[in-house]
Structure formats: C-alpha cells, structure tokens
Amino acid sequence: LQPLHHAAAKWYDRRDSVFVEFCVEDSKDVQVKFAKTKVDFSCTSGTDNITHQNTVELFGVIVPEESKYRRTDRSVLCCLRKEEVGKSWPRLTKDKAKCNWLSVDFINWKDWEEDSDEDLSSFDKFSDMMNTMGGDDLPDLDGAEEEVSL
C-alpha cells in the first residue's frame, strides 16, 4: 500500500463561486465529492500511480449539486457554488491553520466586492463557459505561466 500524498492546490474567490485547482499532471481515477461543508479529492498520477488525496473542510457552505469539476492534463479545476452568493471567503478552509499544500491563486484573485456591474458580466461569461463545457476541453487557464522543465 502506498502512502497518500496531498495534491498541491491553488484557490480563488468569486462572487458566486470558489475555485480550487488541484495541480496534478496526468491524473487518473479522479474522484471529487462535494458536500455542503467539505470537498474530498483523490486521484492517481504518474508512472508510479502515486495516490493524491485531499479533504478540505470549507470556510463556508456550498451547493453540492451545482458544484462541478473539470480535469485537464495539468490539473483538476473545481468550481464550488456558494450557498451565500455575494459573501466573500477570506480563506478556503474552516480552520485558520495553514495548509502547506494550499496557496492563493493570485493570478486569478480579484477583490470583487468593489466590482462594478461591467466586471460581473465577464465573470458570468466564464461561468457560462464552465457550465457548457464538455469533458477535457478546458482552455489552458494558466497560460500566463511559461512551462518550466525542472
């Protein structure tokens, strides 16, 4: 039996959803379970079939039936629908303790509480795109980064 590893994850907050991206390349057997106050994520990756598992006790309450995820070759992006739209989450987790596998996605972070209505329309378009997308055809959301080979 192999030890479990936490998948590295980034998150950001929006008016009606919270996005969490689990950064696992070439993931297989992806399982994401949404509950009102937590998310369970697991998958295997790599030629060694390393098992990644994360359980996130959420800061706020989500609507599990309206939450979804998309797998790409580089990550699994989860869109968590907030139960209380318009309430910002100062952090992803219920506990204030720092998770060493979790970071804020500063590229996508926006201080939306001061947004005007025009800014919202572009988010609605993104929301619609998430809703209408099929399987693995997610656009490369992290196009701002150059691919770095170590």
> 100-129: per-residue pLDDT in tens?
999 999 999 877 666 544 444 555 555 665
Poorest-pLDDT segment among 12-21, 48-57, 111-120? 111-120
- What amino acid is encoded at 11 in this protein? W
The b/e string for 133-143 (b: 16+ C-beta within 10 A; e otherwise) is eeeeebeebbe
User: Is residue 94 pLDDT above 90, yes or no?
Assistant: yes
Please report which confidence band the pLDDT of residue 149 belongs to, taking 50, 70 and 90 as the band edges: very low
Judged against a pLDDT cut of 80, whether residue 133 lies above it is answered with: no
Taking 60 as the threshold, does the pLDDT of residue 87 lie above it?
Answer: yes
Q: Which helix (H) or strand (E) holds 118?
A: helix 117-132
- Whether 4 shows a pLDDT value over 80: the answer reads no
pLDDT, residue 110, reads 77
Match 């100062």 to its residue by tokens.
90
- Grouping H, G, I as helix, E, B as strand and the rest as coil, residue 68 is strand
Q: What are phi and psi of 68, to 5 degrees?
A: -150, 170
Provide CB contacts within 8 A for 137, sequence distance 6+.
none
- Top-level class of domain 1-85: mainly beta
Q: What is the CA radius of gyration of the chain?
A: 15
| Structural domain boundaries in the chain | 1-85
**pLDDT reported for residue 125:** 56
